[in-house]
Structure 1
């Protein structure tokens, strides 16, 4: 058995914050901006798309197209997640972005509902692949003391994309600027333009040294770390001393997939259960509300399709501010308390809002104000789900573990939510919709209880301490 000693994790975790870390956050974190853009475009444009004489979109079909996007995201997460653990993080970055930008441009050229749904599914596949590879790489390159806050803000940047999508829809749907049938098509070009910029940024981001050290390439890991240290030292001056302690890792195993899957259901079964509950509950609530929000505004409150973006903008801003303002508490107060607290608060507020909606106690502005308040907290809760499934499992299967939890949560909560709520909206019954909201609230409360019972203290701890690599061996 070939064994090597390494101090790569300790060297990465002791680095001061620098332009290199901003590059990682910007170049990789933009995956969530793209996802937010895509989801919001379809939500904001759904009224205009439904009126398209070419696509013939009913409310149910709008929900079905949202589910097609999520189905593609599940397939992309699983496929690209497995490849990210097998081939490395960096190789997947360009591929997933290329898939995304090609498909989103093609969406704007759709000629029927079937083609629209197909291109949405392929777009989702690119974004799903981004979630797996990018989440893993960010956690492996960011110092432990700032991992929680950084991960939450990066996941929360979904809502920067949402704001861009909402603002872009206002321009695209203004008949004085762009003909109605052409406006929604032009709007999808936004994602393609952003995707090209992402490709340029990612050229400067290295492979994860942590991935290299656990896949039989310790020399390459050492070379990458030296390069990162040189970049940081050139900006910040002399670096802090490296903490004592070295990892001993096997270098004779190239694939840990089988052993990792077994660990998920044996050694890490409690963490697996927690990840499933957190991901499924937040996926149902977010996708059910957000994919159909424009339809609620137009059907129940009479908001014109071209003005939906005005209501989504404050909603998007609040969703980004939640992780930004609450994120540091996940590193200071602790994971368990904050995850349970944000899930519980989200569930209680959602239950109350569902009742107010059912009994006609809200206007379009009031509905938006309540959703804005709820998802200020729920956004931090949802982002913490990705943080949890990313840091709680061994490095060798981190990307595929993220993909598995994302896929399961999306299949259980994400695919069902838009279809269910699309049908409820089409029924025209406020009481039926309230039942859907109360169900979502119950899921969030169950997740809060699971976080309190099963959560662990991962704050400010090295990844290798939270979940030792499968390749590690004793002294």
Structure 2
């Protein structure tokens, strides 16, 4: 911490790791657990919705959602998330992190329950109602991104800040895993309770009416973890950096932190340098942080194209690769169970470990190296899957009576899981962490929201455009899509060079705010004006 910076920030940066840090990780992390559960549990349920509401009696085959309806169900929550990230990110810098935190949580709880209660007299009205509530569910989820990241970054000490923020984000992996596990448990319960036939040509028998409860219960259970953490979120004090740097009340900032951290924080009377009080839409902001914002936004955009395509298209890729039988070979509830099982295996062996590798290593090897390596390895594994897709899938798929392929499904699963491992031990974690560190406190939540919204723009592109290559399970289209995603990841590798390393520096040093007090100036900034370390 440079000379002239208030002691409250120095105390936060040098505070020993203690119980409240871990409590903050759990409180903020449960929001991300809920976010991931709500966004990704739908992947196991989309085919069930098609069989329930889009059965055509003239064909006698299991129902299937039209492509635009399938895209809407999966993509509408992402559209809400995009809007929520921008709105709540901005609001977090205006009203404070704590006040807005509660609003996002209540929105998530209410809309998760309402999604499961979607009603209507026709298939279109039920799906329309579901999409309406999932949009607002996404809106609440969107607010959780900038607020959770910024709160954790502003609470954390300097030495382990990256690991703390990464631990919050790692709960996303646990949420994805639990989404698959809950879908498995609920579908298994109905399979055991009602014992539907394993296979029937008749749609009425292969899609029992009890299946309508499966998707509703899975969606509504997403409200439980968010509701359980509401009380503790409201008990958290406002972050000292917002109170001191944005509201200008250093005494209250010190008092709030002394309530929760085991350290004495002397209060210094300081005055902000008016020359450094530039606005977000100013030439000075563009000069200091314009390149950073472009870098964080672009890399998150490219990452989410690949990450969300891979997650949302799992149901189609698993069927095409032979990991899950074709729909006519099983009843609707069994199909949910098998898709959820495959999702859970990928999450358990690929997704979750990747997050925790980041937690333990990010403050040792740095954000830049992890992001660069992650993009490169994702590109490599997706290229291998794409160019070898015909061999991995097996050429006998078209003639297999059981719906299983005789290719190399286990090798496919390993390569697919490795892609997700390096997404999470890579850019999926670092794109969340770095925007919470780079920008000044008065813009931090807004800039994180802009970066995150850019990512969700990529996710929306994945849901509404890229997935068109997988919806009909055409192996040639899937092959082209996967190769295209390898190229997208390589572009992410290149754009990473626009994002500086933040390891080992205080937030004020990174953002240049250590020059906002006393004699400090831009020369004390840990990052030069060209954005490099």
Q: Specify the SS of the correspondent of 2:70.
A: helix
Q: TM-score, normalised by structure 1?
A: 0.90
1:62–1:422 contact (8 Å) kept in structure 2: no
Shift in CA distance, 264/380, structure 1 to aligned 2, threshold 3 Å: farther
Measure the CA separation in 2 of the matches of 1:329 and 1:468.
Answer: 26
Higher Rg of the two aligned structures = 2
1:158-180 CA-to-partner distances (Å, cap 9, x unmatched) read 01111111111012223334721
Match of 1:236 in 2: none
Q: How does 1:57-76 map to 2 (within 5 A)?
A: 57-76=65-84
Matched, 1:455 2:476: no
Match of 2:508 in 1: 464
Measure the CA separation in 2 of the matches of 1:50 and 1:263.
Answer: 53
1:318-345 CA-to-partner distances (Å, cap 9, x unmatched) read 2121121243332112222222111111
Q: How does 1:404-415 map to 2 (within 5 A)?
A: 404-411=450-457, 413-415=458-460
Deviation of the 1:223 alpha carbon: 1.2
Match of 1:212 in 2: 243
Match of 1:203 in 2: 234
Q: How does 1:325-336 map to 2 (within 5 A)?
A: 325-336=357-368
Matched, 1:250 2:237: no
Match of 1:384 in 2: 430
- Which consecutive residues of structure 1, in runs of 5 or more, have no partner in the other structure? 234-238
1:201-237 CA-to-partner distances (Å, cap 9, x unmatched) read 21332110000001222221121122133xx35xxxx
Measure the CA separation in 2 of the matches of 1:49 and 1:16.
Answer: 51
1:281–1:440 contact (8 Å) kept in structure 2: no
1:279–1:409 contact (8 Å) kept in structure 2: yes
Q: State the aligned residue count.
A: 459
Q: How does 1:304-323 map to 2 (within 5 A)?
A: 304-317=335-348, 318-323=350-355
Equivalent in 379, 383, 389 of residue 347 of structure 1: 379
1:284–1:416 contact (8 Å) kept in structure 2: yes
Measure the CA separation in 2 of the matches of 1:320 and 1:96.
Answer: 25
Q: Which has the higher contact order (CA 8 A, sep 6+)?
A: 1
2:5–2:518 contact (8 Å) kept in structure 1: no
Q: TM-score, normalised by structure 2?
A: 0.80
1:279–1:406 contact (8 Å) kept in structure 2: yes
2:116–2:216 contact (8 Å) kept in structure 1: yes
Match of 1:51 in 2: 51
Deviation of the 1:246 alpha carbon: 7.7
Q: Specify the SS of the correspondent of 1:267.
A: helix
Deviation of the 1:54 alpha carbon: 7.5
Q: Which deviates the most, 355-364 or 343-352?
A: 355-364
Aligned residues: CA RMSD: 2.7
Match of 1:128 in 2: 142
Q: How does 1:431-446 map to 2 (within 5 A)?
A: 431-446=476-491
- Which consecutive residues of structure 2, in runs of 5 or more, have no partner in the other structure? 56-63, 120-125, 195-209, 326-334, 395-406, 520-533
Measure the CA separation in 1 of the matches of 2:178 and 2:269.
Answer: 44
Measure the CA separation in 2 of the matches of 1:374 and 1:271.
Answer: 26
Q: Specify the SS of the correspondent of 2:160.
A: helix
Measure the CA separation in 2 of the matches of 1:466 and 1:224.
Answer: 24
Match of 1:222 in 2: 254
Q: Which deviates the most, 316-325 or 53-62?
A: 53-62
2:115–2:134 contact (8 Å) kept in structure 1: yes
